[in-house]
Amino acid sequence: MCTRAALRTACQSLLPAGVAAFFHAAVLVGAACAQATPAIRGFAPARVAAQRELEETLKRVPHPAQAEKHLRALTSEPHMAGTEGGRRVAVYIRDQMRSFGLEAELVSYRVLLPHPVEVSLQLTAPEKKKLATPEEPFQADRDTSNPRAVMGFNGYSPSGDVTAPVVYANYGLPEDYKRLAELGVSAEGKIVLVRYGQCFRGVKVKVAEENKAAAVIIFSDPADDGYAAGDPYPRGPFRPPSGIQRGSVYYGFVYPGDPLTPGEAATENAKRIPAGQAQNLPRIPAMPINWRDAQEILSRMEGPRVPREWQGGVPVTYHTGPGPATARIRLKMDFQLRTIWDVVGKLPGTSDDEWVVMGNHHDAWVFGAVDPSSGTAAMLETARALGELARGGWKPRRTILLCAWDAEEFGLIGSTEWVEQHRSELQRKAVAYVNLDSAVSGSAFGSSAAPSLRELVRDAAREVSDPKTGRSVYDVWRERSQRGEGRRRATAGADPAPLQAGEPQLGVLGSGSDFTPFFHHAGIPSLDLGFSGEYGVYHALYDNFFWMKKFGDPDFTYHAAASRLAGILLLRLSESDVLPLDYAAYATEIERYVRELELTAGASGKGRLNLKPVSEGAAAMLAAAGHAAAAMNSAAVDREAALRINRALVTVEQELLSPQGLVGRPWYKHTIYAPGTYTGYAAVLLPGIREAVDRGDWETAQREAGVVAEALHRAAARLAQVR
């Protein structure tokens, strides 16, 4: 009988000899232990025991105290993109990675970033009152008195000076304006007041622009993240009356990244388009306010009483307007080319021909304890663990990159520019991208992922203990999933397939974080994960170290758990014989999407839309995936076969890209998923077809069906090479 202690002694004694000796030791020892050690997806039986020992060693390294130390440093000052505070955070991350033994460097880009000079709002009728009040400082939380905290503003709003009557438009969705029209209310020439929620804030501005509004005010309704949800800060974790949600209003659903260099890296000498030609910039002013200021406007509005579902938590009866409330918005924004700093850390593998990439952004609107620094603190602890393994003689099979992106908050800029600069190399080498944005705001695990990676996430969750219960993260997650919880960045109106009864479900990748350029533009299999909770101070001054210490993760045990999960994922992706990518599940899910689309098109599409070619493509991909899965299982012990299989597997996701991209937004190239034009964050499935159907554009829908069918057949052909 083989004991874990004996295995540890045998394998660790050979670690200094390098990965080749480690591999051969695993073969010898693993053969004796094959019956006693549970299998790992993608690993030859003889290597499983050694891999488990490697993972156990990694899991012992991340420590709550170290994660707390990192978070305190990362949140020690405001660090908005394009500021010296932002550069200092980047240098801290780089220096920490170097101290752990990784190669690390700063990578800079020159991008168009606006910083606010003046953001003012005044009620001009029926009486005059100065609004746009700042967030309230609290004595218990000294960070809330920091004079360098940026005022509440919306990134990429143009400057402007607008005086007009106010109209309330609920969440600012297309259907809300349709309802206003039914009530006899027009937004044309008006300042539109909308509440946060239901879609990305840039969508709210775009729809207002389409309805010829003069400007937009966005407020945080207490029904969504204030007192109606729970006790406001500092008594509780939710947004207080003065809390403001900052955020960009760029049109990222058209393209993310630097507005002036779409599709190209914003290097120093890059060719730039004029700002007036940038299709992802709004044309009307927009600003955020707290609900206390919104109450001053809403209480002075008349017109029709709003539909019941439009009534929020501000303690007044909501009316649509227009008038008699009239407001003046005055915005002065300083648009400049500013330098941003990505951090790229590297742990070289035995071969640099394959990469595993993990990342999170480091910029924040103010302090950003949850968003993004909880993910950065967790990633740094993972980096420390990998460095400890390397100091013990281990070297990864595949190169591991750990990246901290800048200017994500303005528009996924740092990651997008890096992907655009390295796209061809990424498409040759990258096997997966793991995203750790906002990794901890509570204890509830959730994840979204490409279908090919979902089983890998479930497997990793089985290996890490939940700090509160002592059970596995997987078991706790599974119970929550049965209640309809446990997803991140999921679709609107569509759930992932219920594959096995009782399995925890993962969401679908839309947008809103740095996986976007990897997945939607470069076709790299991607996933996003984290622990969430009652987090009501998103993008506010109050998302700081004090909030995390009091409410989010007081003992930082979930930061350490996130580090362990991330580490397991990296080790399995970097060390596996055959890449743990499940394309049979992917094809099955696509077949379901096609059936749902057929139901959506319904009678109106009969005779106008033929989805049979798409169904046939999905069937071809499923058949090829089934044969590939059999080959992957039989070839797991054959290193040459595994290398051949991996070369094919790593490009299957890329075959699902359309070279010409989506209609009207060619930067988005994935034919199966894209952030919705009118959601911004949530994904649309089979987006080229679905959005054309929604517009009633049957000619485009049929053409896009052909594009999707071709992509599916390309993916099937690539999978057929796995044998």
Tens digits of per-residue pLDDT, 345-388?
999 999 899 999 999 999 999 999 999 999 999 999 999 999 99
Closest CA to 413 of 203, 205, 261: 261
Number of Cβ atoms within 10 Å of the Cβ of 468: 11
Give strand pairing partners of 118.
332
- Asked, as a colleague might, if the bond just before 116 is cis with ω within 30 of 0, I would say no
Count the neighbouring beta carbons within 10 Å of the beta carbon of residue 319.
21
**What percent of the chain has pLDDT above 90?**
86
Angstrom distances, CA of residue 328 to CA of 128, 566, 634, 721: 10, 48, 70, 63
Summary count for the chain: helices (H), strands (E):
23, 16
Residue 501: pLDDT band by 50, 70, 90 thresholds? low
Percent above pLDDT 70 for the chain: 92
pLDDT for 36 equals 52
- Name the burial class of residue 221, with classes exposed (0-12), middle (13-18) and buried (19+) by CB atoms within 10 angstroms of its CB: buried
Give me the pLDDT at residue 489, please. 55
In the chain, the domains with their CATH numbers are: 64-111+345-575 (3.40.630.10), 113-337 (3.50.30.30), 583-720 (1.20.930.40)
pLDDT tens digits along 206-224: 999 999 999 999 999 999 9
> Is pLDDT above 50 for 685?
yes
Contacts of 427 (CB under 8 A, 6+ apart): 522, 523, 524, 651, 654
**Sole residue written with tokens 């407001």:** 327
Q: What is the pTM of this model?
A: 0.93
At residue 17, the pLDDT reads: 35
For residue 37, what pLDDT band results from cuts at 50, 70 and 90?
low
pLDDT of residue 160: 98
What pLDDT digit, counting tens, does each position of 546-588 carry? Answer: 999 999 999 999 999 999 999 999 999 999 999 999 999 999 9
- Cis? peptide before 372, omega within 30° of 0: yes
> What is the distance between the alpha carbons of residues 554 and 442, in angstroms, rounded to a whole number?
9
Measured CA to CA in angstroms, residue 642 lies from 249, 354, 437, 715 at distances of: 46, 13, 32, 19
Please name which of 566, 581, 608 lies closest in space to residue 699, comparing C-alpha atoms.
Answer: 608
Cis-peptide, bond into residue 126, ω within 30° of zero: yes
Helix (H, G, I), strand (E, B) or coil at 676: coil
End-to-end CA distance of the chain: 35
Tens-digit pLDDT profile for residues 450-495: 999 999 999 999 999 999 999 999 999 999 988 877 666 544 334 4
Concerning whether 455 is annotated as a catalytic residue, the answer is no
What are all long-range contacts of 11-20, with beta carbons under 8 Å and residues at least 24 apart?
11/49, 11/50, 11/53, 12/53, 12/392, 15/392, 15/393, 15/394, 16/392, 16/393, 17/393, 18/393, 18/395, 19/350, 19/394, 19/395, 19/396, 19/397
Average pLDDT, the chain: 92
Token couple for 7: 């295995």
Amino acid identity, position 145: S
Q: Which helix (H) or strand (E) holds 80?
A: none
Among candidate residues 408, 420, 575, 591, the one labeled active-site is 408
Three-state DSSP state, 444: strand
Q: Is the peptide bond before 64 cis (omega within 30 degrees of 0)?
A: no
Residue 682 pLDDT > 50:
yes
